Structure 1
Amino acid sequence: MRWRSSTRLNPGDLFADLPESLSEEAFEDLLRASGLRIERIVSQGHTSPEQGWYDQAENEWVLVLRGAGRLQFDDGEEVYLRPGQYLTIPAHRRHRVSWTSPDELTVWLAVFYP
């Protein structure tokens, strides 16, 4: 049995509509479903605020698509990510973005799940 729909499928493009200049990081939800969120993040020389750490109630799987970034964890561990590299950050593992490439856009894909 073939699936039929009167609605045409419309593919997205992770590199479409990238900002030309960024005064702050750009966050865009690409998909939200029960217990799942997929987000595109665009950075250029941005870091997390000095006074704060991300302490999320959900797990995060993050992939660098373009550019580069470094994540710092509250225990002192740092992880450098370049295009194609990904990392799973367990829920409540406190972290921050300590560096992103200042010379090019860094495009991240983040998947949040329980």
Structure 2
Amino acid sequence: MPCQNLFFPLPPAGTEEHFEPLLCRPGLRIERIVSHYHASPADFWFDQTEDEWVMLARGSAELEFDDGELLALSPGDWLLIPAGRRHRVAATGPDTVWLAIHLTP
């Protein structure tokens, strides 16, 4: 399998965030998410059945949780979002790259 790079090539900016699976195994999915000034719709919440470990690799982002918490992320910041914790992307900057690991609890 050839070596690949998390930052190159990046998909062109579009109206939606770009989700790219990097590795999938039973109970595990690793994906790259690329955002360009994207945010979730105001009335939309992710409500996932799996735990999500997410790291902001490049750019800037804010996550909002349904309990009112707003979390600003800088490159290198990471967190674990437990299954069922409703959240949304409040804002992102240009060429923002996330690494997300989804785990079946």
How many residues are matched? Answer: 104
Amino acid paired to 1:107: V
TM-score by length of structure 1 reads: 0.87
Percent identity between matched residues is 53
Runs of 4+ in 1 over 6 A off after TM superposition: none
TM-score by length of structure 2 reads: 0.94
- Give ranges in structure 2 of 5+ residues lacking alignment: none
Shift in Å, 1:27: 0.6
Amino acid paired to 2:9: D
Shift in Å, 1:20: 3.1
- Give ranges in structure 1 of 5+ residues lacking alignment: 1-8
Shift in Å, 1:28: 0.4
Amino acid paired to 1:54: F
- Residue of structure 2 equivalent to 1:90: 82
Matched ranges for 1:1-114 at <5 A: 9-101=1-93, 104-114=94-104
Bigger radius of gyration: 1
CA RMSD of aligned residues (A): 1.0
Shift in Å, 1:10: 1.5
Distance 2:65 2:92 in 1: 15
Amino acid paired to 2:40: S
Shift in Å, 1:40: 0.4
Distance 1:80 1:51 in 2: 20
